[in-house]
């Protein structure tokens, strides 16, 4: 990266300085979205002005992800060969964004002038040309209600495109909005411009012309390649959204022998695909990664997350340990039954399934996830719980991206023992679904194939079997009604709702609220520490005193197995309450 002699326009102020002066900008509301109007008269804080200099950028191809993030349009889109760089705040800006005039006539939309705006809050709109959501600077036409980011609006050569890798003939710009189905992505989205072939019946969105040919997504273990049509004779369902696919349109399918395909739009979602074209690049298989433990014979292993001691295999652990005292170090659940690995020198235990967790996972996130033994605690992105067990974190360094091992183990098709029908893991990016159990609105959920029944990851990751001190039998999770009349929780003595799920004993015919049995923080255990948002240390201790303490937050008796003690000695019954305490 080197400097070049192209001084930025004197009217441009670094975005960091501009955002301090947000009160000086007029606001404009379009639908449910608020924008700031960028005009010729700009507020400029002369005392805090930041110097911008021009720097050479990477000469990426059209459609590829840029090496620099533009803080004006808030994207990694590829612009010209150089950026502007702010020495004070280390931000980069596209040349086109810095030089964007407040009023502009675009070749894409020559009839009416476009007004330069900056996204403030609300629902994000998509660029007419590239189809990407707009987070920063944007040009808008109030007459035709279209949006374009500065890079697309400033393009001069657009009327024809020749990309033989996408289509053998020259494509021509189609200026009218019309509900035409794109042959590449199979959608008729009129928010994006179309290109058509004059020699054959081929229509494509401008944004779809430069889509990659070979990609890797988080939902599948192999690479996917673009295909213009799928083989007939099979019923194809998208591996991301699980909706039926039309074989006549473009999609991405597995390069191996898997019968796996994904809608074009689903495969190129920001948090599904890392934004890299893998055509002609060598394939690095995850299969070459070592297993999680080394077998040493006679049921003895050395696990890579407890490599300093050996561990011994015990088959069917029921009754061997006190489940209240011993927990699996990976999932933090008690050792009720099943196969277990136990350390031969210390109190370190792993369920058999947890010991076999792969070192690398691909699920939802655009990068591969690596199995780690968490520090003191982390926050799971799927179930919104704190955990002090093992977790999966981004292998490319995305900050604070963690999944606990139960959420990371969810597959595309899930057979949940508490429900009679299978679920499919559903990713929804632009809207939310309501969980049928807890009624939280979520973007990632498990949807029943047969019925209109949705579980969020928080409810789906609840253990199917648990033990309660005052019942000699195992309790099982259920969403089915077991009696004609109301059922009552044996702990809090309030009614239980089958729709929200409860634990029941099949022998005694009693029911329990899930929270009453498990508590609020099922992945945290005593002896660990948390920190509040203000940096104060919090201890996690057992709630085993003769008298239940009163929570400093909700002012009720703490009934769960663990409580949280802050630096002042105050007791809280849940992590959410103590995290926000001062």
The full DSSP string for 108-152 is: TEEEEEEEEEEEEESSPPBPTTT-PBP-SEEEEETTTTEEE-HHH
> H or E segment at 423?
strand 423-427
Task: Judge whether 181 and 205 are in contact, CB under 8 Å.
Answer: no
Spatial neighbors of 138 by CB under 8 A, at least 6 apart, are 35, 73, 116, 117, 118, 119, 125, 127, 147, 148, 149, 150
For tokens 């009349």, the residue is 485
Domain boundaries, the chain: 1-157, 214-268, 293-356, 463-518, 528-580
Q: Which residues pair with 531 in a beta bridge?
A: 537
pLDDT at 280: 85
DSSP category for residue 63: T
Q: Residue 86 in contact with residue 50, Cβ under 8 Å?
A: yes
Q: Is the separation of the CB atoms in 371 and 291 below 8 Å?
A: no
Chain centroid offset of residue 173 CA: 35
The pTM (predicted TM-score) of the whole model is 0.69
Is residue 128 within 8 Å of residue 56, measured between CB atoms? no
The predicted pLDDT at position 572 comes to 92
**121 beta partners:** 34
Residue of 61 and 185 predicted with greater confidence:
185
CATH entry, 214-268, from 3.30.60, 1.10.260, 2.60.40, 1.25.40 = 3.30.60
Residue 368 to residues 303, 402, 541: CA-CA distances in angstroms?
21, 12, 35
User: Residues 162-189: pLDDT tens digits?
Assistant: 888 888 898 888 877 777 899 999 988 7
Q: Which of 18-27, 39-48, 140-149 is predicted most confidently?
A: 140-149
Q: By the 8 A CB rule, do 488 and 495 touch?
A: yes
Q: How far is CA 536 from the centre of its chain?
A: 29
How many alpha carbons lie under 13 Å from residue 342 in its C-beta half-sphere?
A: 15
- For domain 463-518, the question of CATH label 3.30.60 is answered with yes
- Cα separation, 216 vs 268, whole angstroms: 10
d(CA 268, CA 206): 15
Question: Is-same-fold flag (214-268; 463-518)?
Answer: yes
Whether the pLDDT of residue 504 is over 60: the answer is yes
Coil, strand or helix: which one is 93? Answer: strand
Q: Per DSSP, what are the bridge partners of residue 295?
A: 301
Burial of 213 per CB tally in 10 Å (0-12, 13-18, 19+): middle
Residue 261: how many other CB atoms lie within 10 Å: 23
Q: How far apart are CA 563 and CA 542, in angstroms?
A: 6
The predicted-structure confidence for 320-372, as pLDDT tens digits, reads as follows 665 556 889 999 988 887 889 999 999 899 999 999 998 888 877 778 888 99
Q: What percent of the chain has pLDDT over 90?
A: 14
Do 305 and 405 form a contact (C-beta atoms < 8 A)? no
**Who's near 399: CB < 8 A, 6+ residues apart?**
none
Q: What is the pLDDT of residue 345?
A: 92
Cβ pair 290, 228 in contact under 8 A: no
CA distance 147 to 126: 7
Look-up of token digits 């663990």:
562
User: Is 4's pLDDT higher than 60?
Assistant: no
pLDDT tens digits, 473-498: 889 998 877 666 788 898 888 888 88
- Report residue 444 as tokens: 């990632």
Phi, psi dihedrals of residue 35, rounded to the nearest 5°: -125, 155
Report the chain's mean pLDDT, rounded to a whole number: 82
């Amino acid at each position: 990266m080197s400097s070049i002699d192209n001084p930025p326009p004197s009217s441009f102020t670094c975005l960091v300085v501009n955002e301090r002066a947000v009160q000086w900008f007029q606001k404009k509301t379009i639908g449910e979205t608020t924008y700031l109007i960028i005009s010729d008269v700009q507020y400029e804080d002369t005392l805090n002005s930041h110097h911008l200099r021009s720097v050479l950028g990477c000469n990426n191809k059209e459609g590829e992800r840029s090496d620099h993030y533009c803080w004006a349009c808030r994207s990694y889109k590829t612009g010209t060969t150089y950026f502007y760089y702010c020495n004070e705040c280390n931000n980069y800006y596209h040349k086109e964004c810095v030089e964007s005039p407040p009023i502009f006539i675009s070749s894409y939309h020559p009839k009416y002038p476009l007004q330069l705006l900056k996204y403030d809050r609300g629902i994000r709109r998509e660029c007419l040309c590239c189809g990407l959501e707009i987070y920063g600077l944007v040009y808008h036409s109030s007459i035709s209600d279209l949006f374009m980011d500065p890079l697309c609006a400033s393009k001069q050569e657009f009327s024809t495109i020749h990309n033989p890798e996408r289509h053998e003939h020259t494509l021509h710009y189609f200026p009218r909005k019309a509900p035409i189905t794109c042959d590449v992505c199979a959608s008729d989205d009129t928010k994006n411009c179309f290109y058509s072939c004059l020699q054959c019946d081929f229509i494509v969105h401008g944004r779809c012309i430069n889509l990659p040919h070979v990609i890797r997504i988080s939902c599948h273990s192999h690479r996917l390649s673009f295909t213009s049509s799928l083989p007939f004779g099979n019923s194809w369902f998208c591996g991301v959204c699980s909706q039926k696919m039309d074989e006549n349109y473009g999609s991405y399918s597995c390069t191996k022998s898997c019968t796996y395909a994904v809608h074009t739009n689903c495969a190129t979602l920001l948090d599904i695909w890392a934004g890299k074209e893998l055509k002609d690049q060598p394939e690095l298989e995850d299969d070459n990664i070592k297993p999680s433990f080394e077998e040493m014979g006679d049921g003895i292993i050395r696990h890579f997350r407890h490599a300093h001691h050996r561990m011994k295999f015990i088959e069917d652990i029921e009754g061997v340990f006190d489940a209240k005292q011993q927990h699996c170090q990976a999932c933090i659940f008690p050792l009720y039954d099943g196969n277990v690995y136990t350390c031969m020198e210390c109190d370190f235990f792993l369920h058999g399934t947890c010991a076999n967790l792969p070192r690398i996972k691909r699920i939802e996130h655009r990068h591969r996830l690596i199995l780690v033994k968490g520090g003191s605690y982390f926050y799971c992105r799927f179930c919104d719980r704190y955990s002090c067990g093992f977790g999966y974190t981004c292998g490319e360094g995305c900050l604070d991206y963690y999944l606990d091992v139960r959420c990371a183990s969810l597959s595309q098709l899930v057979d949940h023992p508490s429900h009679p029908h299978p679920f499919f893991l559903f990713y929804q990016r632009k809207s939310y679904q309501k969980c049928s159990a807890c009624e939280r609105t979520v973007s990632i959920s498990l949807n029943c194939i047969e019925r209109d029944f949705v579980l969020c990851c928080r409810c789906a990751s609840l253990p199917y079997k648990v033990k309660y001190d005052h019942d000699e039998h195992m309790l099982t999770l259920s969403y089915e009604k077991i009696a004609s009349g109301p059922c009552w929780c044996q702990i809090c003595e309030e009614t239980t709702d089958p729709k929200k799920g409860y634990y029941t004993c099949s022998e005694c015919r009693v029911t329990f609220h899930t929270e009453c049995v498990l508590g609020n923080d099922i992945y945290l255990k005593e002896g660990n520490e948390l920190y509040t948002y203000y940096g104060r240390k919090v201890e996690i201790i057992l709630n085993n005193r003769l008298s239940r303490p009163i929570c400093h937050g909700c002012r009720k008796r703490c009934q769960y197995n663990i409580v949280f003690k802050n630096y002042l000695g105050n007791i809280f019954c849940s992590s959410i309450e103590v995290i926000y305490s001062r």
